Amino acid sequence: MALIKPFRALRPVKRHVREVAAPPYDVMNTAEARAMAEGNPFSFLRVSRPEIDLPADLDPHDEQVYRKGRENLDRFVAEGTLVCDGQDNYYIYRQKMGTVVQTGLVACASVDDYQGGVIRKHEHTRADKEEDRVRHIDYLDANDEPVFYVYRNRPSINSLIACLTEGEPLYDFTTDDSIGHTVWAVTDRDVILRLSKEFAVIDTLYVADGHHRSAAASRVREARKGSNPGHTGMEEYNFFLTVIFPDHEMNVMAYNRAVRDLNGHSIAEFINLVGRRFDITPREGQVVPSRRHDFGMYLKGKWYELTARKPAVDENDAVGRLDVSILQDHVLGPILGVRNPRTDQRIHFVGGSRGTEELVRLVDSDEFQVAFSLYPTSIEELMSLADAGKIMPPKSTWFEPKLRSGLFIHLLS
């Protein structure tokens, strides 16, 4: 059963909330973060990506970077940009992106649930990225960015949250990407108890986005537990920041691929090899797949539609039948030599709204030789694989809109 708890949020004052709110740390590189925060002293990127306030040649994993993050967080508090609520609350966070609307509960999840399998994952973490988040959380003494979790839809929770969103919001603003963000505080003790009880009957939560943050929270808890002789299990470090959404509201977008070279093959050789597993049809315009097992391929200024044939498709293989697996197992690995997409520098991943236009740009720049558009992995595929204890290939899902950082901070001490 899922254990969640309210928390005393450190959050922006209303007049600065739009300036503070920032994209999550891992959807941009340092140069992009610098450009995004330029001219905005309130940007939360100064906490989540503090290297932007240090010399450009400094290693982003240098201890100075983590110290700078804590320094900037303390400054935001001292200057009154961030204030701490006086009691433990839940919060409701709604995002609108065009016709997509997703409404989640902001709460603290349990490290015990993560370690015990109540919270299920579908990706492996990278040791370097996990270590970075451990140090970041430890220096801040806070979870500064929420993990994106999903639960199987429960009408009783939907009804309760719908009633709570009829009141006056704490925040209501639109970011430069035209995404609307609305937040309500849940302060009534009886309602907080009802929400806790509703989630207590949920068997499973699923990590949609934030595997490294979840793993880092677990490691931070273990370290602090080991150094605290009076550990009770209810200290704040036993819990971490999440926003939990119902599965039916999820908007999963394609996670496309581009590869820098053809692994020594000529164009004719490459097309011939691909044709052994796929039907190949030249197309005039950009190919955005409309069904499973169809792919777009952009090669030397031309688009092709690929349709996987047997034996490339085995519907009895829960992982192998995913389109990201079909492309990896029958093109990227054996033909293009991308054996480990987690570490191979020849492959580049393009997620979300960047779409096929970005694939065209990459290939036309001659930095990449071929790109592939995919049909999105479904939320049901994600949950079913997680239930079976299986792991998806890296970069299988892209959820959008992304949660904004800086709206809620969970203090560990």
CA distance 138 to 130: 12
CA dihedral 352, 174, 101, 241 (to 10 degrees): 80
pLDDT in tens, 315-367: 989 999 999 999 999 999 999 999 999 889 999 999 878 889 999 999 999 99
**What average pLDDT does the chain have?**
96
Determine contact, residues 124/210, Cβ cutoff 8 Å: no
Q: What is the reported pLDDT for 155?
A: 95
Beta pairing partners, 119: 205
CA distance 250 to 279: 31
CA distance 233 to 236: 9
> What's the whole-model pTM score?
0.93
Q: Where in the chain is the domain with CATH 3.30.1760?
A: 255-375
CA distance 258 to 375: 15
Q: What angle do CA 375, 373, 393 make, to 5 degrees?
A: 70
Report, as an integer, the average pLDDT of 258-285.
97
Q: Given a cut of 90, is residue 312 above it in pLDDT?
A: no
Q: What is the reported pLDDT for 13?
A: 98
Q: How large is the angle between the packed helices 211-226 and 127-140, nearest 10 degrees?
A: 60
Which of 162, 219, 170 has the alpha carbon at shortest distance from 195? Answer: 162
CA distance 145 to 407: 9
SS3 category, 178: coil
pLDDT in tens, 181-223: 999 999 999 999 999 999 999 999 999 999 999 999 999 999 9
Q: Name the DSSP class of 354.
A: G
Which are the contacts of 137, defined by CB distance < 8 A and separation ≥ 6? 143, 144, 216, 217, 220, 412
CA distance 173 to 188: 24
Q: What is the reported pLDDT for 279?
A: 97
- Domain covering 255-375: architecture: 2-Layer Sandwich (3.30)
Q: Given a cut of 90, is residue 314 above it in pLDDT?
A: no
